[in-house]
Structure 1
Amino acid sequence: MSPTSNTVAGTRPDKRLLLSIHDVGPRFSDEIERLADRLSALAGEARFAMLVVPEHWGGTRLADDPAFQVRLRRWAEQGVEMFVHGWFHKDAAQHSGADAFKAQFMTAGEGEFLNLSREEATRRMAEGRALIEDVIGRPCAGFIAPAWLYGDGARQALRDCDFAMAEDHFRVWRPQDDAVLARGPVITWASRSGPRTASSLFFAGLARFGLRAMPNVRIAVHPGDVTKQSILTSIDRTVRAFLPSHVPSRYASLLASA
């Protein structure tokens, strides 16, 4: 029997649960495997997306790891949607004003596309897409910037690259015409400090009740989540809380109903 055969009975087809695993690449291969197994057990096999980083922080490279390439292609063949998730996932730029606030407080130096030029953002997006599509043997679903942060250059590059979808903290949209496909905050967790973990656990608890009326609910998990049992427990509770009302779905379904 499918893990979702009982929990999704009676769900409304117009209410979606969109699950995703971030920072997918060889650097976190074991953590990604654990998260994929966990989400499959909760919501059904391959009912989630993966956000792939070609060269995380300039370290381990997807292009140099045939074993991980095989695993990534297998997930794609099972139906997992693959998004381009930057190139380095590291922000090496100097920021000022509002961008400085975002770079310091909304991420730990990982807003790679917050201050890139249009040309550089286009190059990284295009090269990331080419590499990932060569590995998985099919088109990518779209692009999602590291830490969900986009500068003006990145937003222009999204249109240049003709990605079908993009996502930030509060929406999923179609870059070509800026049509909004889904609204609402992403439920996610923070593992890098005690206070941030506590804050993310608190928000997830509120979201399990406060977001039930939303037609589309997004839940995102990261490799660091596996380091804290409190986060894993919260992930399980949060996914299960939405299963009676929301169907685990593909991001592509947003385009079909736009």
Structure 2
Amino acid sequence: MTKRVETVKDMTVLLSVHDVSPLYEDDIVKTYDFLSDFGISSVTLLVTPFYGLKKINKISESDMFTKFLSSLDLEIAMHGYSHFSKSGSLSEFNGMVQEKVALRLKDGVSILTKGFGLKPTGFVSPLWESPPKVVKAVKEAGLGFCVNGNSIHRNSDDTIFNTTERIVSEGQRVLNMETSLIEIELGGSLQIGIHPLDHSTNKLFEVLEDLKDRLGYKFMGYSDYLTSIT
């Protein structure tokens, strides 16, 4: 079956907060407050079910952090399983056989579904890198979409939506977005992944404010955008 390929509409930012974990609880509260102050209400929370394989970072239905996230009524998608490979790399699924990928997806979906009472809407790998075996496993797990680089795979009809650029912060002081500047000024579609530490380490929130107020970009979570396009 030939997949349909479309470009995400110009002047659109598919916005997410990644590395959502109890590890960054206070910073995620501050990040949400900043977004609310900017009037941004559509954003995807990319939650890692078992960050670093540490029990204290595992999503649990009885945890106050999980209850706080649920109270925000925002889209929740899955962001890796532990976020790290066995060697400590951020490329969590590289070198992993298909069966192991499928098992991690299944376990992660189970953790998030039990924690939030809802199945995650989709999947975004750490570093936004999803090799074909991950894209396949996400679809088999029954999730609505999988992101691989600049491509968003909508599983309901096998349509791929491409953005022109993506900016994924790692919460460090230097925010590398030089390659995105031309597309931003041209109004090209973007994916932006906010790290919980960005509010205190770099100027990403100033970038968001400029995109919204000067350039007129519209911010949407992944599912909000995908359901708006038939």
- TM-score normalised by the shorter chain: which range applies? 0.7 to 0.9
Contact 1:49 1:82 in 2 (8 A): yes
Query: 1:143 deviation in Å?
Result: 0.8
Q: 1:134 to 1:240 in 2, by over 3 A?
A: farther
Match of 2:78 in 1: 84
Q: How far apart, CA to CA, are the structure 2 residues paired with 1:239 and 1:112?
A: 33
**TM-align CA RMSD:** 2.6
Match of 1:208 in 2: 184
Contact 1:25 1:53 in 2 (8 A): yes
Query: Unaligned regions of 5+ residues in structure 2, if any?
Result: 1-8
Contact 2:42 2:219 in 1 (8 A): yes
Match of 2:31 in 1: 35
- In terms of fraction of residues, the more helix-rich structure is 1
- In terms of fraction of residues, the more strand-rich structure is 2
Q: How far apart, CA to CA, are the structure 1 residues paired with 2:16 and 2:136?
A: 25
Match of 1:148 in 2: 128
Q: Secondary structure at the match of 1:88?
A: coil
Q: Which amino acid aligns with 2:70?
A: R
Query: Unaligned regions of 5+ residues in structure 1, if any?
Result: 1-12, 94-107
Q: 1:111 aligns with which of 88, 91, 102?
A: 91
Are residue 50 (structure 1) and residue 45 (structure 2) matched?
yes
Contact 2:20 2:47 in 1 (8 A): yes
Contact 2:131 2:148 in 1 (8 A): no
Query: 1:56 deviation in Å?
Result: 1.2
Q: Secondary structure at the match of 1:199?
A: coil
Q: How far apart, CA to CA, are the structure 1 residues paired with 2:150 and 2:161?
A: 11
Q: TM (normalized to structure 2)?
A: 0.82
Q: Secondary structure at the match of 1:62?
A: coil
Q: How does 1:1-258 map to 2 (within 5 A)?
A: 16-44=12-40, 46-59=41-54, 60-63=57-60, 66-75=63-72, 78=73, 80-92=74-86, 109-175=89-155, 178-192=158-172, 197=174, 199-200=176-177, 202-203=178-179, 205-210=181-186, 212=187, 214=188, 216-242=189-215, 244=216, 246-252=217-223, 253-258=225-230
4+ residue segments displaced more than 6 Å: none
Query: 1:191 deviation in Å?
Result: 4.0
Q: How far apart, CA to CA, are the structure 1 residues paired with 2:227 and 2:162?
A: 10
Q: TM (normalized to structure 1)?
A: 0.74
**Percent identity, aligned pairs only?**
20
Q: 1:203 to 1:190 in 2, by over 3 A?
A: farther
Q: Which amino acid aligns with 1:53?
A: T
Query: 1:25 deviation in Å?
Result: 1.1
Query: 1:203 deviation in Å?
Result: 4.0
Contact 1:204 1:238 in 2 (8 A): no
Query: 1:82 deviation in Å?
Result: 0.6
State the aligned residue count: 219
Query: 1:81 deviation in Å?
Result: 0.8
Q: Which amino acid aligns with 2:65?
A: F
Q: 1:112 to 1:226 in 2, by over 3 A?
A: same
Query: 1:88 deviation in Å?
Result: 0.6
Contact 1:89 1:110 in 2 (8 A): yes
Q: How far apart, CA to CA, are the structure 1 residues paired with 2:30 and 2:95?
A: 33
Contact 1:113 1:146 in 2 (8 A): no
Q: How far apart, CA to CA, are the structure 2 residues paired with 1:241 and 1:222?
A: 23
Q: Secondary structure at the match of 2:203?
A: helix
Contact 1:55 1:88 in 2 (8 A): yes
Q: How far apart, CA to CA, are the structure 1 residues paired with 2:181 and 2:117?
A: 39
Q: 1:86 to 1:67 in 2, by over 3 A?
A: same
Query: 1:137 deviation in Å?
Result: 2.1
Contact 1:73 1:135 in 2 (8 A): no
